Amino acid sequence: MNPSDTPASPLPSSRLDRRAMLRFAAAAAPVLAMPALARAQQNPGTPNFVPQVGQQGKDVIWVPTPDALVDRMLRMAQVGPNDQVVDLGSGDGKIVIAAARDFKARSLGVEFNPDMVALARRNAEKAGVQSLARFEQGDIFKFDYSFASVVTMYLLPGLNLKLRPTLLKMRPGTRLVTHQFTMGSWEPDDSSTVDGRPGYLWVVPAPVGGGWKLTTTDSRGTSEASVSFSQAFQQVTGTVRMGSLDGRLRSVRLSGDRLSFEWMDDKGVLRAYDGRVAGERIEGGCRAVDGTAGSFVAQRTGAATPVDGGRE
């Protein structure tokens, strides 16, 4: 038989398998390289999913916050159009949607259950706020929400405590509001009860604990003193040393990055200070009891102490 008449032999199956596997690997590579969270965000959820009160979630069961309390929580946080609101464990999306609809704030819900994420997105579309309210599937203990100016939560006390170190590292002045549960020894700055359901507000305090060099300038000239603050969250006390004089600071108050206090200098003049904390520096104005106005700068002189003061 002429070799040219010989039927072409099929390629060995092993070679076909190898080529098929290479084609599959090339097609699958972008998907396999995609971060797990990004893949999860593409999960469209179960069509026509209807949540059930009390259904089990990753960390807590789902129980929605009443509408009246949602409104009160957002008002306690003074939410406005310039805010970025993040709801941790956003469920059906009602807090995120309310922040967008009623306060025109850009809002994000972080929810682990893909069915709830899909439901929240549908609810946002129905409310006409999908341009302001968005939802992502993710783990609240891994998700980066450091950009938020307001954080809302309805979580169990143990979860609040687990999140607390992260929350305390947020930008000073960030407002935190929770439904029902508190933050351990971190006392809230405000609270309200609506139909028997409590809501709590905290303002993330600036880290001020430790030593500072205080320089005051007014019509009398420039003076220097050493100040030391003891801090446990927003509760702050302080002492001052000026030359051979040791004294105690009066009426110390910290709210976010705003710090105020009073002290009587070595000449017996009572001065009131009011400034803003910016990292290792505090700047602001001061006024003596006789009306003499001036300015001050305080520069940190040592390591900062823990914001929580070592409390649980």
pTM exceeds 0.85, yes or no = no
Q: What are the extents of the domains in the chain?
A: 67-203, 210-300
Give pLDDT, residue 45: 65
H-type helices in 142-289, by residue range? 157-168
At residue 273 the predicted structure's pLDDT band, cuts being 50, 70 and 90, is very high
- Percentage of the chain exceeding pLDDT 70: 86
At residue 32 the predicted structure's pLDDT band, cuts being 50, 70 and 90, is very low
At residue 44 the predicted structure's pLDDT band, cuts being 50, 70 and 90, is low
Top CATH class of 210-300 equals mainly beta
CA 269 – CA 265 distance, rounded (Å): 5
Instruction: List, for residues 203-219, the tens digit of each pLDDT value.
Output: 999 999 999 999 999 99
Longest dimension (CA), the chain: 122
Q: Please state, rounded to an integer, the average pLDDT across all residues of the chain.
A: 88
Contact partners, residue 230, CB within 8 Å, separation at least 6: 209, 236, 237, 238, 305, 309
> 179 near 91, Cβ under 8 Å?
no
CA 188 – CA 34 distance, rounded (Å): 40
At residue 100 the predicted structure's pLDDT band, cuts being 50, 70 and 90, is very high
Q: How far is CA 132 from the centre of its chain?
A: 18
How many Cβ atoms from other residues are within 10 Å of residue 85's Cβ? 28
How many Cβ atoms from other residues are within 10 Å of residue 87's Cβ? 32
What CATH architecture does domain 67-203 belong to? 3-Layer(aba) Sandwich (3.40)
Instruction: List, for residues 156-198, the tens digit of each pLDDT value.
Output: 999 999 999 999 999 999 999 999 999 999 999 999 999 999 9
End-to-end CA distance of the chain: 92
